[in-house]
Amino acid sequence: EWKRPFNYAEGCFPCSSCIEDLMITVNGIQNELMPIMNEFLRNEASFYANQRLTYISDQIDRLKPEIALLDPAVGNRKMMPLEQAMDKLGRESKSLNILYKLERMRDLAKNAQDLETDGSNAINEMGLVGIKVQEVIKDVLDISEALGSNAINEMGLVGIKVQEVIKDVLDISEALGSNAINE
């Protein structure tokens, strides 16, 4: 912006007339402001000293509690409730952990009892099925004896299948009986 009034790109070169005009203007401004500046300089020292002392006093008041913490007795008194609260929280967390484990063990015991009941019921049902199978086998054997061995031979292939089924039922019945006895 300052280069616009000049015809060349470099702008204004300092010449003696410009410098002299500038120095006269600056000296005039300085002469006008010097009495005001002297007044401020006299008042400034006491004002800024007062401001600084007020600031330092406020900082001291603000830092007194923190400085007091540097005294071990005061620090210990302030830390005691915090340490007690930490101990209490530690005990409560251990207590909660034990309570959780106890609750978990109760749940597992209940599940074990349910499984025991279900297992007993299954064994009882297997025993009842074994009895019914024995009854069916007895009925089949009675029918087989009543018909006689000739009637079974006449049936041919059907007779062989009936004998195989009877044998399988007897094997299963024996297996169920031995499992029921073992359990």
CA-angle at 103, arms to 97 and 104, nearest 5°:
90
**Cα 146 from Cα 48, distance rounded (Å):** 132
| Tens-binned pLDDT, residue by residue, of the chain (183 aa) | 555 655 656 656 667 777 777 788 888 888 888 887 777 777 766 777 777 778 888 888 888 877 776 777 766 777 788 888 888 888 888 888 788 888 889 999 999 999 889 888 888 888 888 888 888 888 888 877 777 655 555 555 556 666 777 777 777 777 766 554 444
pTM to 2 decimals?
0.34
**Cα 89 from Cα 97, distance rounded (Å):** 12
- The residue behind tokens 């019921």 is 121
